Amino acid sequence: MNSRKATAALALVTALALGASACNGNSKNSSSSKPGSTGGSSSSATGKDAALNSIVNPSTKKGGTVTMEESDVPDSLDPGNTYYGWVQNFSRLYSRTLLTFKPAAGHDGLTVVPDLATGLGKASPDAKTWTYTLRSGVKFQDGTPVTSKDVKYAIERSNFAPEALSNGPTYFKAYLAGGDKYKGPYADKNPNGIASIATPDDHTIVFHLAKPFADFDYLATFSQTAPVEQSKDTGASYVNHIQSTGPYMFQSYQDGQGATLVRNPQWVASTDPIRKALPDKITIKFKVAATTVDDDLLADNITVDAAGTGVQPQTQPKLITQKQYADQSDDPYAGATSYMAINPNVAPFNNIHCREAVEWGVNKASVQQALGGAVHGDVASTLLPPSVNGYSKFDLFPSKGNAGDVSKAKAALAACGKPNGFSANITARTDRPTEVAAATAIQQALKPIGINLSIKTYPSGKYFSNFAGVPSYVHSHDLGLMLMAWGADWPTGYGFLDQIVDGSAIKPSGGNNLMELNDPTINKALSDAIANTDAAARTKAWGDIDKMVIKTATVVPLVYRKNLLYRPKSATNVTVTQAYLGMYDYTLIGSSK
């Protein structure tokens, strides 16, 4: 690379390499592979943790049905209206994006590769203009050729129409020139759409940014870049008739119940270098009790738990102590942190000393046990997990044995004018028993210092769209403490922090900045860092910003998460992907049934 045009792309590769080095606590590189291949080791590796760096039970045989179950409902299976990591992973079966993460074992799975596009983005010297060229021959399931205008429209509807689609991130809105003024395709009737996304021909799409963004290729991996035919779009109800561009399409979809995917006859393998599309059918059921999902996995009645967050505490002992189950288990780091958001707009947490009382009072060791013990994660002191590029080790609220510090908690209560304590609410997701158990552990830890918590539970499928992610609901229901788990949108500090600590991420509904943190200094630090083309300086900045956030006492890091996963014997081509929070890669997985 001999020009400044390569700067942003080089920074991307550097960040990937640095982020990958800490994954799974193993710096050993997986075997190399050609771009577009599955990569990694595909030998018949077996035993515990075999899927961390290998493809277990490899197969090239076509046929069979992959069966999935999920304990609640997704936020949406619409690629433009989702923020759940498992849906981002799952949606690659029926939707193709400009770029994607390579379906591969080990560190190869963090590599960004072309999907709809023919290559990575071509960046201008200042990283403010990014150009992609689309492949020829890609069609929607109705036979209509995919064009650059379909990709542009998909981004417009997903980022600029919160009245209809509120679940996904808004990175494009934040960084596209004029993004603060464009009202979206439903409200703005200009047929040309937003001017800062140019489509000079059917195979070229150009993004003009208001400010430099060195990580832009990562945005091109988001499901929001999956093309949508404007004539077929019906807003929030588009989920009922999604038009596929991937190897599978929806045979049926029932809201709240599940879906069946079958082969898409318009998908052509020669236009898709990354998907093998071996199964004939994929089924998924929603609202299956979490323990039932585990039972079905261990009995080999299903192929995979769609949520990808690991088995429940009731099931865990079997995977730890019984060899026949242990040999079919994997315990990867999830690239995610479980934490408790403290909302400073809910009294008495508008006083920093009241927030600090909670920080000092939480017994993180008991929370770790409630979440399943060490096998489900390490006690956390930072927001950034160790596997994300930019992590810096520090602890601003240390205590012996991670058991909290009662004396400092009581001193903080006195400083906030509540020496006898106060009452507050804490939220957790109903269908996640370990999260409810964590809320109970926090409740028990804070009670002796005079903080009395009431636990409020909500379904995970609506947790952000209707409850914890809706500021008006949070304020009116005094939801001062909210449990949360967050993984990086991509494996750098910005990809982890932006949507949960930047003020611009606060939304009327579907938001993830549950702290409603809107600190001008932190906002500016994030913006300045992502514009910096010096990769080393960016890496340092993420750790510095993490510390700035913790100093506000609006978040209590709890556990750096691990997922204790189980793979039944009928599952083929099984490997963990760190790009999607340490779950199995759904574009690879097959079934011998």
CATH of the domain at 520: 3.10.105.10
409-414: which pairs have CB atoms within 8 A and are 24 or more residues apart?
Answer: 409/357, 409/358, 409/360, 409/361, 409/449, 410/357, 410/449, 410/450, 412/353, 412/354, 412/356, 412/357, 412/359, 412/360, 413/353, 413/354, 413/357, 413/449, 413/450, 413/451
Structural tokens at position 566: 């189980």
pLDDT for position 35? 33
Does one domain contain both 557 and 570? no
Does one domain contain both 536 and 574? no
10-residue mean pLDDT profile of the chain (593 residues): values are 28 33 29 37 76 96 98 96 95 98 92 97 94 98 98 98 91 95 94 97 98 92 97 97 98 97 98 96 97 98 96 92 96 93 98 98 97 92 92 97 97 98 97 94 98 97 95 98 92 92 93 97 95 88 98 98 96 95 96 96
pLDDT for position 43? 52
Domain assignment present for 296: no
Residues 132-147 as b/e (b if ≥16 CB within 10 A, e otherwise) read bbbbeebbbbeebebb
Does one domain contain both 367 and 267? no
What is the CATH classification number for the domain harbouring 139?
3.40.190.10
Domain assignment present for 195: yes
Terminal C-alpha separation, the chain: 48
Domain assignment present for 532: yes
Does one domain contain both 364 and 495? yes
pLDDT for position 19? 33
pLDDT for position 476? 98
Does one domain contain both 352 and 246? no
As for how many domains the chain has, the answer is 2
Does one domain contain both 396 and 270? no
pLDDT for position 45? 76
Q: Cα 305 from chain centroid?
A: 16
Domain assignment present for 170: yes
pLDDT for position 44? 60
Does one domain contain both 520 and 575? no
Structural tokens at position 438: 């964590």
Q: What is the DSSP letter of 464?
A: I
Q: Contact 467/478 with Cβ under 8 angstroms?
A: no
- 540 is in which domain, residue-wise? 335-562
Angle 101-26-10 (CA atoms, 0-180°, nearest 5)?
Answer: 45
Domain assignment present for 58: yes
* pTM as predicted: 0.80
Query: What is the identity of the amino acid at 344?
Result: P
Does one domain contain both 343 and 277? no
pLDDT for position 489? 86
Does one domain contain both 251 and 139? yes
Domain assignment present for 311: no
Does one domain contain both 115 and 238? yes
Domain assignment present for 425: yes
pLDDT for position 38? 43
Strand locations in 169-233 (E): 197-201, 204-208
Domain assignment present for 186: yes
What 3-state class would DSSP assign to 437? helix
As a dihedral over the C-alpha atoms of residue 503, residue 507, residue 510, residue 514, rounded to 10 degrees, the angle is: 40
Does one domain contain both 586 and 472? no
Does one domain contain both 219 and 261? yes
